[in-house]
Structure 1
Amino acid sequence: MTDITLTHEPLDLPLSGVWRISRGSRTRAENVLVRLSWIDADGHAWEGQGEAAPYGYYGELRGTVTACLDEFATLLGNDPFAIEAILGRIEARVRHNTGAKAAVDMALHDLWGKILGRPVWQAWGLDASQGPVTSYSIGIDTPEAMGNRASALAEAGWPLIKLKVGTRDDIRCVSAVREAAPSVRLIIDANGAWTPREAISRLSELAQFGIEFCEQPCSSTDVAGLRFIRERSDIALVADESCATEEDIAALVGAVDGINIKLMKCGGLRRARRLIEVARANHLRVMCGCLIESSLAISAAAQLLPLLDYADLDGNLLLASDPFSGVTASHGRMVLGNGHGLGVTPRTIHTEA
């Protein structure tokens, strides 16, 4: 039996088009692929994989991720079943840097499941047939372009669409989408673009389009603003940027109706499950979202599906080419396979030195 070894390499993910939200736009994601290797007492070699999606808004870049991973490589020990102890040592060594931590967490769960010969969801005792459909996100664009995209998604059978908002054209854009796809369910995400009073006015105008909820209408640091909006709007609110870990939930109780978990915000599956438990205890709805990620990270998050009310796990669907195959989505319904660990296999992995 050997120590667990960690290696990492760049994972460049070009998008199929320009992705725009209220904070800016991007055409590619500079992620990091992590591999954990271990040889058991019988000499059998095992490997688990994880992915970090560093995002400047959360204080991470590819360089900070790789620096943290090099540090984490010395903390893994020789027991892949000691997930709590390993991740505890990692959290004690470096604060924040949750994308890097998430990659190691994913790889550990992948390794654990493969050794057990079970998918992670099954090892947790969950029912893969349960769980919500995933939304498909439409980034900020012209009303015509957003309407055309919504029409195509509706024709393809997607039942739930998420619209990025936060511009002067919000009403026209949402109206165009609703006209193009009258039967789909709609949610919106402002990514903190509005002041509380702007949010109240905008949500009042948008209510006519049958919006299920709005994510992060105002600044992530303005919890009082979220409470102010919730008291004056008929549209439910979900905290995204305001809720990174379970420690953030207490302040949000009464200010929002739900939270959006992301593995890259909280540090992986272990912390995500804590978030779900704390949110449930406080009668909050639970959503799991993503950044621009390959099917590796999306499949990791999808292990949580049976525990969720909402899912927004479409980051891999926005890519020009996905280097992994894993969880699939048909008409919004995600299918968790029986592949061991995270159930992910590589296609062609494009890396840069």
Structure 2
Amino acid sequence: MGWALRRFPLSKAVPLAISRGTTASVEHLLLQLEAEGCIGLGETGGFDTGHRHYAIDALQVELESVLPLLDSLDPADRGAIADRIAPLSPPARCAIDLALWDWWGKRLGQPLWRLLALPVERPIETWAVATSVTLGLASVDRVLERLQRWWQLLPASRIKLKLGSPDGLDHDRALLEAVAEAIEREGQRRQEPLELQVDANGGWTLDQARGMVSHLQAHGVVLLEQPLPAQVDPEADRLAFARLKPDCPLPLVADESCWDLTDLLRLAPHVDGVNLKLLKTGGLSEALLMALVAHRLNLALMVGCYSDSTLLNGAAAQLLPLIRWPDLDSHLNLVDDPFTGLPISADRLGVPRTLGLGIDWQEVRL
């Protein structure tokens, strides 16, 4: 099999600010696998969770070092390939994993969700739920302007508000109050309830998180995502959630702290859900395993994104029938996305219906 790797830019229409900084544009890597007349596509990119950092240059070096070792292998022999790519970082593995899944579906002439036996042949209205859309950190006026911009784009009924502001809890509380009031007014206008989620991206201490819980409840917040910083020491990370959970009646979701099945099992007694992101899990293979185990453990699931294109989000969308809280909005905020194929009805994402991952690449734009 043959491989090709290239960079491509992704630029946000509205830069996103969270507790760790602001992102306006990124470079990602497109990986192409070609064998037996079929081409599989994979994507990866750098990101920073505060306790782990992956740069695009390092990811490219990783991939360029291992891809020649895969040339002689059968792309259908997933076990042999898994052994070769196991030492890679999760985002580097993700690119290869997605390209293999996309190739496999195309080679068999099937969409991936069918190979995974996921129940998406029913009408989208019978199983899909709305994706959340994200409000980054900024002044109150700018955050409210961003909310209105989302509502001009689609009937966003699930709003995720980033908190953990470097400006402190007073600013967090002001943002929370203003956004909650705007959502309440919009819900009354539509005569339907809208949902407010909060993601602190590890921006609070344990005492701050405990102190914010009552404010979140008072403003109708339905879940709290990663309030505490993720820690390198897994036991210290687990203990932080264990100490917060008794004082947090809201659904508590781990994101930056949860990367693989080992993390899910470690955190399961202390959280209500986890956020699966393919760049963290190393692709769909681990994410699917985590999703199935989470269902057995009665853990709810979110599927999320970084500054990802339609290709990465389309791959993550394969899992939507298993997801309670979809959070795949990054491609909706891009001005130069080179991919198409991820369906959306109102604010409900569907699963791509064509072969493999079901995502098309417009080469002319790269």
TM-score by length of 2: 0.88
Partner of 2:159: 161
How far is 1:154 from its partner? 4.3
Distance in 1 (alpha carbons) for counterparts of 2:102 and 2:84: 19
- 1:262 touches 1:290 (CA, 8 Å); kept in 2? yes
Q: CA deviation at 1:350?
A: 4.7
Cα RMSD after superposing both structures: 1.6
Listed as ranges, the matches of 1:124-203 within 5 Å are 124-128=116-120, 129=124, 130-154=127-151, 156-167=154-165, 168=168, 169-182=171-184, 183=187, 184-203=194-213
Alignment of 1:313-324 (within 5 A): 313-324=328-339
Q: CA deviation at 1:20?
A: 0.3
Matched residues, number: 340
Runs (5+) with no aligned partner, structure 1:
40-44
Overall identity of the aligned pairs, in %: 33
Query: Residues 349, 247 of structure 1: CA spacing in aligned structure 2 closer, same or farther, 3 A cutoff?
Result: farther
Distance of aligned partners of 1:31 and 1:255 in 2 relative to their CA distance in 1, 3 Å threshold: same
> Partner of 2:198: helix, strand, or coil?
strand
CA distance in 2, matches of 1:176, 1:348: 43
What residue ranges of structure 2 are gaps of 5+ in the alignment?
Answer: 188-193, 232-236
Q: Aligned equivalents of 1:77 and 1:270: distance in 2?
A: 22
Q: Is the 8 A contact 1:151 1:181 kept in 2?
A: no
**Which residue, 79, 85, 102 being the options, matches 2:80?**
85
Deviation digits for residues 251-271 of structure 1 (CA, Å, limit 9, x no counterpart): 212211110011000100001
Deviation at 1:217, TM superposition (A): 0.3
Tell me by how many angstroms 1:16 deviates. 1.0
1:287 & 1:153 partners in 2: Cα distance?
20
Match of 1:68 among 35, 46, 62: 62
Contact 1:292 1:318 in 2 (8 A): no
CA displacement at 1:152 relative to structure 2: 4.2
Helix, strand or coil at the partner of 2:270: coil
Query: Which of 104, 109, 115 is matched with 1:117 structurally?
Result: 109
The alignment status of 1:258 with 2:256, answered yes or no, reads: no
- Out of 55, 79, 85, the position equivalent to 2:47 is 55
Structure 2 CA distance for aligned equivalents of residues 313 and 339 of structure 1: 19
* Equivalence for 2:32: 35
Structure 2 residue identity aligned to 1:135: S
1:61 shift after superposition: 1.0
SS of 1:109's partner is helix
SS at match of 2:74: coil
Task: Find runs of 4+ consecutive structure 1 residues off by over 6 angstroms.
Answer: none
Structure 1 residue aligned with 2:343: 328
- CA deviations on 1:167-195 (whole Å, 9 max, x unpaired) are 23111112211222213201111010101
Q: CA deviation at 1:133?
A: 2.2
Report 1:172-321 matches (<5 A).
172-182=174-184, 183=187, 184-221=194-231, 222-321=237-336
Greater Cα shift, 329-338 or 16-25: 329-338
- 1:7 aligned partner, one-letter code: A
CA distance in 2, matches of 1:100, 1:272: 15
1:348 CA displacement: 4.9
Alpha-carbon shift at residue 76 of structure 1 (Å):
4.9
The answer to whether 1:13 aligns with 2:10 is yes
Instruction: Tell me which residue corresponds to 2:234.
Output: none
